[in-house]
Amino acid sequence: MKLRYFAWVRERIGKPEEEIEPPAGVATIADLVTWLSGRGEEYAHAFENPRVIRAAIDRAHVRSDAAISGAREIAFFPPMTGG
Amino acid sequence: MAATVRLQREPFDAASEAEKLRRGRRDIGAVVMFTGICRGDEAGAPLLAMTLEHYPDMAEAEIVRHVTAAERRWPLLGVAVIHRYGRIQPGEDIVLVVTAAAHRQDAFAAAEFLMDYLKTRAPFWKQIELAGGGATDKIWVEAKRSDDALADRWTPSSGSRAAE
Protein backbone atom coordinates (compact mmCIF):
# COMPACT_ATOMS: atom_id res chain seq x y z
CA MET A 1 0.00 0.00 0.00
CA LYS A 2 0.99 3.61 -0.47
CA LEU A 3 1.63 5.82 2.54
CA ARG A 4 1.50 9.61 2.29
CA TYR A 5 2.68 12.10 4.87
CA PHE A 6 1.83 15.77 5.23
CA ALA A 7 3.09 18.88 7.07
CA TRP A 8 5.38 18.14 10.04
CA VAL A 9 4.74 14.40 9.81
CA ARG A 10 6.24 14.55 6.29
CA GLU A 11 9.15 16.72 7.48
CA ARG A 12 10.01 14.45 10.39
CA ILE A 13 9.88 11.27 8.30
CA GLY A 14 11.80 13.00 5.54
CA LYS A 15 9.69 11.92 2.56
CA PRO A 16 6.22 12.70 1.21
CA GLU A 17 5.25 9.11 0.37
CA GLU A 18 6.42 5.52 0.17
CA GLU A 19 5.21 2.02 -0.68
CA ILE A 20 5.12 -0.39 2.24
CA GLU A 21 3.99 -3.94 2.93
CA PRO A 22 3.17 -4.23 6.63
CA PRO A 23 3.52 -7.70 8.19
CA ALA A 24 0.51 -9.83 9.10
CA GLY A 25 -0.89 -8.74 12.44
CA VAL A 26 -0.79 -5.05 11.55
CA ALA A 27 -4.56 -4.74 11.28
CA THR A 28 -5.51 -1.19 12.25
CA ILE A 29 -4.25 2.38 11.88
CA ALA A 30 -2.99 2.22 15.49
CA ASP A 31 -1.09 -1.03 14.70
CA LEU A 32 0.42 0.62 11.65
CA VAL A 33 1.58 3.64 13.67
CA THR A 34 3.21 1.32 16.22
CA TRP A 35 4.89 -0.71 13.48
CA LEU A 36 6.11 2.39 11.63
CA SER A 37 7.45 3.87 14.87
CA GLY A 38 9.79 0.91 15.15
CA ARG A 39 11.29 1.49 11.70
CA GLY A 40 13.66 4.25 12.74
CA GLU A 41 14.23 7.41 14.70
CA GLU A 42 12.54 9.61 12.12
CA TYR A 43 9.32 7.57 12.34
CA ALA A 44 9.51 7.43 16.14
CA HIS A 45 9.84 11.21 16.15
CA ALA A 46 6.91 11.73 13.78
CA PHE A 47 4.63 9.43 15.78
CA GLU A 48 5.94 10.23 19.28
CA ASN A 49 2.50 11.52 20.28
CA PRO A 50 0.02 9.23 18.46
CA ARG A 51 -2.95 11.09 19.95
CA VAL A 52 -2.35 14.12 17.76
CA ILE A 53 -1.84 12.14 14.55
CA ARG A 54 -4.77 12.11 12.12
CA ALA A 55 -5.21 9.45 9.46
CA ALA A 56 -7.11 8.95 6.22
CA ILE A 57 -7.73 5.75 4.29
CA ASP A 58 -8.28 6.23 0.58
CA ARG A 59 -8.84 9.95 1.16
CA ALA A 60 -11.45 9.72 3.90
CA HIS A 61 -10.86 10.52 7.60
CA VAL A 62 -10.68 7.44 9.83
CA ARG A 63 -10.11 6.75 13.50
CA SER A 64 -7.09 4.91 14.87
CA ASP A 65 -9.11 1.70 15.29
CA ALA A 66 -10.01 1.57 11.58
CA ALA A 67 -9.02 -1.63 9.74
CA ILE A 68 -6.40 -1.14 7.06
CA SER A 69 -7.02 -4.29 5.03
CA GLY A 70 -7.78 -3.45 1.42
CA ALA A 71 -6.50 0.12 1.75
CA ARG A 72 -4.71 1.45 -1.30
CA GLU A 73 -3.55 4.75 0.20
CA ILE A 74 -3.13 5.70 3.84
CA ALA A 75 -2.20 9.22 4.87
CA PHE A 76 -0.88 10.52 8.19
CA PHE A 77 -0.95 14.18 9.15
CA PRO A 78 -1.28 16.63 12.04
CA PRO A 79 -4.59 18.26 12.97
CA MET A 80 -5.74 20.40 10.07
CA THR A 81 -5.32 24.18 10.00
CA GLY A 82 -7.01 25.31 6.79
CA GLY A 83 -9.59 27.99 6.21
CA MET B 1 -27.97 23.19 -7.39
CA ALA B 2 -24.57 23.57 -9.01
CA ALA B 3 -21.88 24.38 -6.45
CA THR B 4 -18.44 25.70 -7.28
CA VAL B 5 -15.52 24.11 -5.43
CA ARG B 6 -12.01 25.06 -6.48
CA LEU B 7 -8.52 24.63 -5.07
CA GLN B 8 -6.02 26.90 -6.70
CA ARG B 9 -2.61 28.48 -6.25
CA GLU B 10 -3.52 31.81 -7.88
CA PRO B 11 -5.59 34.60 -6.28
CA PHE B 12 -9.37 34.74 -6.79
CA ASP B 13 -11.75 37.61 -7.37
CA ALA B 14 -14.24 37.42 -4.50
CA ALA B 15 -16.66 40.01 -5.89
CA SER B 16 -16.93 38.35 -9.28
CA GLU B 17 -17.49 34.91 -7.71
CA ALA B 18 -20.39 36.34 -5.68
CA GLU B 19 -21.76 38.09 -8.75
CA LYS B 20 -21.66 34.84 -10.75
CA LEU B 21 -23.89 33.13 -8.16
CA ARG B 22 -26.68 35.68 -8.40
CA ARG B 23 -26.48 36.81 -12.01
CA GLY B 24 -29.89 36.60 -13.71
CA ARG B 25 -31.57 35.17 -10.60
CA ARG B 26 -34.74 36.54 -9.03
CA ASP B 27 -35.17 33.91 -6.33
CA ILE B 28 -32.07 34.85 -4.31
CA GLY B 29 -32.73 37.24 -1.47
CA ALA B 30 -29.44 36.95 0.41
CA VAL B 31 -25.80 36.42 -0.47
CA VAL B 32 -23.21 35.94 2.28
CA MET B 33 -19.56 36.17 1.32
CA PHE B 34 -16.75 35.28 3.71
CA THR B 35 -13.13 35.97 2.76
CA GLY B 36 -10.29 34.68 4.92
CA ILE B 37 -7.21 36.89 4.60
CA CYS B 38 -3.57 36.35 5.55
CA ARG B 39 -2.71 38.65 8.47
CA GLY B 40 0.63 40.41 8.73
CA ASP B 41 1.39 39.23 12.25
CA GLU B 42 1.17 36.13 14.38
CA ALA B 43 0.77 36.82 18.10
CA GLY B 44 2.53 40.15 17.63
CA ALA B 45 5.43 38.81 15.53
CA PRO B 46 5.66 40.20 11.96
CA LEU B 47 4.77 37.57 9.39
CA LEU B 48 6.58 37.42 6.05
CA ALA B 49 4.37 34.85 4.38
CA MET B 50 2.27 31.76 4.90
CA THR B 51 2.49 28.50 2.95
CA LEU B 52 -0.53 26.23 2.72
CA GLU B 53 0.17 22.57 2.14
CA HIS B 54 -2.76 20.37 1.15
CA TYR B 55 -3.72 16.82 0.25
CA PRO B 56 -5.10 17.58 -3.23
CA ASP B 57 -7.61 14.81 -3.96
CA MET B 58 -8.84 14.48 -0.43
CA ALA B 59 -9.19 18.24 0.10
CA GLU B 60 -11.52 18.61 -2.84
CA ALA B 61 -13.56 15.54 -1.84
CA GLU B 62 -13.90 16.76 1.76
CA ILE B 63 -15.06 20.22 0.70
CA VAL B 64 -17.59 18.78 -1.77
CA ARG B 65 -18.87 16.48 0.99
CA HIS B 66 -19.43 19.43 3.34
CA VAL B 67 -21.04 21.53 0.62
CA THR B 68 -23.45 18.65 0.03
CA ALA B 69 -24.14 18.48 3.78
CA ALA B 70 -24.85 22.23 3.84
CA GLU B 71 -27.22 21.88 0.89
CA ARG B 72 -29.12 19.16 2.74
CA ARG B 73 -29.37 21.26 5.86
CA TRP B 74 -30.33 24.66 4.46
CA PRO B 75 -32.38 25.63 1.37
CA LEU B 76 -29.43 27.10 -0.52
CA LEU B 77 -29.67 28.59 -3.99
CA GLY B 78 -25.93 28.75 -4.64
CA VAL B 79 -22.57 27.89 -3.03
CA ALA B 80 -18.99 28.68 -3.99
CA VAL B 81 -15.91 27.60 -2.04
CA ILE B 82 -12.43 28.51 -3.22
CA HIS B 83 -9.36 27.61 -1.17
CA ARG B 84 -5.86 28.63 -2.15
CA TYR B 85 -2.68 26.68 -1.50
CA GLY B 86 1.02 27.50 -1.85
CA ARG B 87 2.77 30.65 -0.62
CA ILE B 88 0.51 33.53 0.35
CA GLN B 89 1.61 36.96 1.55
CA PRO B 90 0.00 39.20 4.18
CA GLY B 91 -3.00 41.01 2.78
CA GLU B 92 -3.74 38.29 0.22
CA ASP B 93 -6.92 36.23 0.30
CA ILE B 94 -6.72 32.59 1.45
CA VAL B 95 -10.25 31.26 1.28
CA LEU B 96 -13.64 32.29 -0.05
CA VAL B 97 -17.07 30.98 0.93
CA VAL B 98 -20.16 32.38 -0.78
CA THR B 99 -23.66 31.17 0.03
CA ALA B 100 -26.90 32.30 -1.55
CA ALA B 101 -30.42 31.68 -0.28
CA ALA B 102 -33.88 33.25 -0.29
CA HIS B 103 -33.40 34.45 3.30
CA ARG B 104 -30.39 35.68 5.23
CA GLN B 105 -30.52 33.21 8.14
CA ASP B 106 -29.88 30.27 5.83
CA ALA B 107 -27.07 32.03 3.97
CA PHE B 108 -25.34 33.14 7.21
CA ALA B 109 -25.65 29.73 8.88
CA ALA B 110 -24.42 27.78 5.87
CA ALA B 111 -21.41 30.05 5.42
CA GLU B 112 -20.43 29.65 9.08
CA PHE B 113 -20.94 25.89 8.92
CA LEU B 114 -18.72 25.62 5.86
CA MET B 115 -15.95 27.76 7.38
CA ASP B 116 -15.99 25.86 10.69
CA TYR B 117 -15.56 22.60 8.80
CA LEU B 118 -12.90 23.97 6.44
CA LYS B 119 -10.82 24.94 9.46
CA THR B 120 -10.97 21.58 11.17
CA ARG B 121 -11.69 18.87 8.57
CA ALA B 122 -10.31 19.95 5.20
CA PRO B 123 -6.74 18.61 4.79
CA PHE B 124 -4.81 21.89 4.68
CA TRP B 125 -1.87 22.85 6.88
CA LYS B 126 -0.53 26.36 7.38
CA GLN B 127 3.14 27.07 7.88
CA ILE B 128 4.11 30.64 8.69
CA GLU B 129 7.40 32.41 8.04
CA LEU B 130 8.33 34.97 10.66
CA ALA B 131 10.74 37.82 10.02
CA GLY B 132 14.28 36.65 10.72
CA GLY B 133 14.78 34.46 7.70
CA GLY B 134 16.28 31.35 9.31
CA ALA B 135 14.84 27.85 8.83
CA THR B 136 13.82 27.89 12.49
CA ASP B 137 11.48 30.78 11.75
CA LYS B 138 9.19 28.53 9.71
CA ILE B 139 6.50 27.34 12.07
CA TRP B 140 3.57 24.97 11.54
CA VAL B 141 0.42 26.61 12.85
CA GLU B 142 -1.14 24.58 15.66
CA ALA B 143 -4.79 23.62 15.49
CA LYS B 144 -6.95 25.59 17.90
CA ARG B 145 -9.31 23.90 20.34
CA SER B 146 -11.66 26.86 19.87
CA ASP B 147 -11.95 25.93 16.17
CA ASP B 148 -12.82 22.34 17.11
CA ALA B 149 -15.50 23.62 19.48
CA LEU B 150 -16.98 25.78 16.72
CA ALA B 151 -17.13 22.82 14.33
CA ASP B 152 -18.62 20.58 17.03
CA ARG B 153 -21.61 22.81 17.58
CA TRP B 154 -23.04 21.68 14.22
CA THR B 155 -23.21 18.04 15.28
CA PRO B 156 -25.88 16.96 17.77
CA SER B 157 -23.53 14.63 19.70
CA SER B 158 -20.05 16.06 19.76
CA GLY B 159 -17.98 12.94 20.07
CA SER B 160 -14.62 12.28 18.47
CA ARG B 161 -13.85 14.30 15.39
CA ALA B 162 -11.43 11.75 14.04
CA ALA B 163 -14.16 10.01 12.06
CA GLU B 164 -17.77 10.29 11.14
Model pTM score: 0.90
Inspect the interface and report whether the beta carbons of B55 and A6 lie closer than 8 Å. Answer: yes
User: What percentage of chain A reaches a pLDDT higher than 70?
Assistant: 100
Q: What is the pLDDT of residue B65?
A: 95
Q: CATH assignment of A2-77?
A: 3.10.20.30
Using a CB-CB cut-off of 8 Å, the residues of chain A touching B123 are: 6, 56, 75, 77, 80, 82
Residue B135: predicted pLDDT: 60
Could you tell me how far CA B164 lies from the centroid of its own chain? Answer: 20
Beta-carbon contacts of residue B106 (< 8 Å; ≥ 6 apart)? B30, B74, B75, B76, B99
What pLDDT was estimated at residue A37? 97
pLDDT at position A64 over 70: yes
The structural domains of chain A, with segments of one domain joined by +, span: 2-77
Please report the pLDDT score of residue B131 as a whole number.
81
Respond yes or no on whether ipTM tops 0.85: yes
Spans of chain B, pLDDT less than 70: 1, 133-136, 157-164
Residues in chain B closer than 8 A to A50 (CB atoms): none
pLDDT value for B163: 43
Mean pLDDT score across all residues of chain A: 97
Tell me what pLDDT residue B112 has.
97
| Residue spans of alpha helices (H) in A38-82 | 41-46
Q: Tell me which chain A residues have a C-beta less than 8 angstroms from the C-beta of B85.
A: none
Distance from CA of B111 to the nearest CA of A (A): 12
